[in-house]
């Protein structure tokens, strides 16, 4: 595993690596304030569906530590609502918050409520580490030869509590001599690929290059890509999957070029109450993320901007979905997961 941690909990503080500063600077946010964690989620200082869920669980525990014993329910709901409002698309956030809520409701009269609810957050974190390991092992079977892989956005330690989702599949495959080279989409507009995935590929010692998102078709046309693996922020019961904007493009390109397209995600990313991709709420981001970068203007701030953070890939374009439980193949039915 790479020599850094994206999320830690030490001495009643959440410690987060500030992903907006990577790869040029490794800086950490240390806080015991749930509001600061909520802001970190909104600013994408912490991002990636599993990591968001873990950070929110720790934040909720910290909030509970300081709520009044007189208005416990009201105080908890206020903290819950604040964290739930940070980002709408990634289902792991709500999965983690609802799990924490259940723990709170069962133990709210306990004298050691903070300890109990903090232990639940720690359990969510440790379970994610275990899920990443099992997911990576399950993903090895998708490699039929030593392959060139293309991936999109960031799906490594920075996006999870463990080794990662799609990234960790790639890393384990590389360690087993199944990956030759990795092409990392830069992932506009916030460049999670060129900033974060490249940072992690370098740490892991995996040969790679960064390419613009629009170069993916060229790479496929020239037989440079054998397989595409991405993560997901929410998977519907029928296998439709929401992921970082630009993922659907890749799936369509893979279909045209007869290249397998896989998704790796923990079962906490599967929303069995969501029938299909049409039911997934898509987050739209502020136009400043398009017309500027790190406060440097790259076009006029007066221009209108259309900026969805995610798109939805239909299940018929997905060759397989790798979870910690299995490599799921079409037709998908996650309604009983």
Any idea which fold 7-133 has? Answer: 1.20.120
Round the CA-based radius of gyration of the chain to a whole number and report it: 20
- Sequence ranges of the domains in the chain: 7-133, 137-328
Element (H, E) at 236: strand 234-236
Catalytic residues: 233
Tell me which residues of the chain have a pLDDT lower than 70: 1-3
pLDDT at 336: 77
pLDDT digits (tens, 9 = 90+) for 177-221: 999 999 999 999 999 999 999 999 999 999 999 999 999 999 999
Q: Which of 49, 26, 239, 235 is nearest to 155 (CA)?
A: 49
Q: What is the pLDDT of residue 5?
A: 83
CB atoms within 10 A of CB 111: 9
Tokens of 160: 């999870």
pLDDT for the residue numbered 3:
65
- pLDDT value, residue 1: 47
Predicted local confidence at residue 2, as pLDDT: 54
Beta strands per DSSP E along the chain: 7-10, 13-17, 28-31, 147-151, 179-185, 208-211, 227-230, 234-236, 241-244, 261-264, 270-271, 292-293, 296-297, 310-313, 320-322, 327-328
DSSP 8-state secondary structure symbol assigned to residue 197: I
Specify the pLDDT at position 69. 75
3-state class of 19 per DSSP? coil
Q: What is the pLDDT of residue 316?
A: 98
Backbone phi, then psi, for 206, in 5-degree steps?
-95, 130
Please state which CATH number belongs to domain 137-328. 3.40.50.10470
Residue 239, CA distances (Å) to 257, 277, 290, 297, 308 in order: 22, 8, 30, 39, 21
Q: Are 306 and 237 in contact (CB under 8 A)?
A: no
Q: What are phi and psi of 34, to 5 degrees?
A: -60, -30
pTM, two decimals, is: 0.95
């Amino acid at each position: 595993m790479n020599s850094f941690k994206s999320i830690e909990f030490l001495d009643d503080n959440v410690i987060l690596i500030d992903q907006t500063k990577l790869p040029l600077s490794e800086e950490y946010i240390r806080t015991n304030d749930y509001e600061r964690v909520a802001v970190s989620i909104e600013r994408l200082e912490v991002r990636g569906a599993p990591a968001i869920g873990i950070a929110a669980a720790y934040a909720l525990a910290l909030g509970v530590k300081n709520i009044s014993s007189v208005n416990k329910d009201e105080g908890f709901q206020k903290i819950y609502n604040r964290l739930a409002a940070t980002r709408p698309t990634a289902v792991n956030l709500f999965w983690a918050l609802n799990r924490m809520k259940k723990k709170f409701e069962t133990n709210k009269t306990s004298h050691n409520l903070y300890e109990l609810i903090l232990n639940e957050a720690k359990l969510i974190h440790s379970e994610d580490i275990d899920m990443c390991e099992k997911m990576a092992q399950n993903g090895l079977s998708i490699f039929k030869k030593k392959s060139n892989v293309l991936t999109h956005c960031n799906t490594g330690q920075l996006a999870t509590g463990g080794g990662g989702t799609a990234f960790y599949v790639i890393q384990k495959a590389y360690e087993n001599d199944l990956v030759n080279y990795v092409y990392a989409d830069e992932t506009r507009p916030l460049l999670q690929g060129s900033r974060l995935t490249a940072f992690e590929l370098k740490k892991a010692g995996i040969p790679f290059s960064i390419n613009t998102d629009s170069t993916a078709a060229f790479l496929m046309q020239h037989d440079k890509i054998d397989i595409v693996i991405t993560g997901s922020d929410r998977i519907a019961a029928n296998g439709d999957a929401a992921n970082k904007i630009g993922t659907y493009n890749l799936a369509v390109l893979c279909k045209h070029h007869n290249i397998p397209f896989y998704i790796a995600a923990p079962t906490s990313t599967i929303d069995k109450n969501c029938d299909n991709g049409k039911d997934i709420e898509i987050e739209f981001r502020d136009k400043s993320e398009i017309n500027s970068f790190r406060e440097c203007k790259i076009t006029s701030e007066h221009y209108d901007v259309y900026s969805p953070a995610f798109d939805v890939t239909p299940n018929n374009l997905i060759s397989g979905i790798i979870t910690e439980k299995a490599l799921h193949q079409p037709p998908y039915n996650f309604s009983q997961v």
